[in-house]
Amino acid sequence: MPSLPSTELATLPAKRSLVLVRPTGMLVSMALLLGTLLLLINVLKLIDNPTPGRRLTGALVGLGLLLWAGYRRRRGNQPRLLCFDREALHLEPLGPELGRPAETIPLSSIKTYTYWLRLMRWRGFAQCHLRLKLADGRVLHLADRPGTRPDDPTGTVQLDMLATRLARRAKTGIRRRPLFFQTQTAQGLLWVSAGAVVAGAGLLGFGHDAGLLLLLPAVGYGAAYYLWHDEVDLP
């Protein structure tokens, strides 16, 4: 898609999009799954053999993962109305937080950004994600809010339109970051996780419970790579 001249960009009207702030990602979902498995497996083993030790440690680790993931789910998925004008992004609260002042993010405070399209196969739609790293060290993660509601503001557009507009307005000093799961580092970790799956399965085959410590994270990383590697990096 061709870039627009700066004079035309300056006259474009402000755009609005319904977004989620801190959307629940795959990391939280993996933590919920892994925490549940660790807690159940170790609690069942404690019932069978109540001698404390590694089983108690595994149960506590699983409980910690569940608590952390539950906290992230509760804090995430906050609806906002994102307005994008010449100089800044404006996030206006919606839902239960309606009435709070909007947060203004000057474009000059954005140091790096990444945006991509996630194909939600089980829901039948694509969800755009935009991650901004700001000058004060904060990382702002936005995503399309799925579905529509009767009280949604009129004239809103999908987030990918605003993300593409941000890329066109990118000034000197704003750098784009690639998606992690499409880098050489991610591919190298995939080979490491494959080796860990083989080693973990071998340890379990010989009766060593420590194989779970290799097997579960490796399988989790492989699943995350499979789900995220196909994300579309928008131009």
For tokens 């100089």, the residue is 87
Distance (Å, whole) CA 40 – CA 21: 32
Q: The pTM is what?
A: 0.63
Q: How far is CA 108 from the centre of its chain?
A: 24
Taking the C-alpha atoms of residue 26 and residue 225, their distance in angstroms, rounded to an integer, is 10
Would you give per-residue pLDDT tens digits along the chain (235 residues)?
A: 344 444 444 445 567 888 888 887 667 777 888 888 888 888 877 777 766 666 777 788 888 888 888 888 777 778 888 988 878 888 988 766 666 788 898 888 888 888 887 776 555 567 888 888 888 888 888 988 877 666 667 778 888 888 777 777 665 556 767 677 767 787 788 888 888 888 888 877 777 777 777 888 888 888 777 766 655 555 5
Q: Interior CA angle at 183 toward 180 and 187, to 5°?
A: 105
Planar angle of CA 168, 162, 232, nearest 5 degrees: 85
- DSSP 8-state assignment for residue 19: E
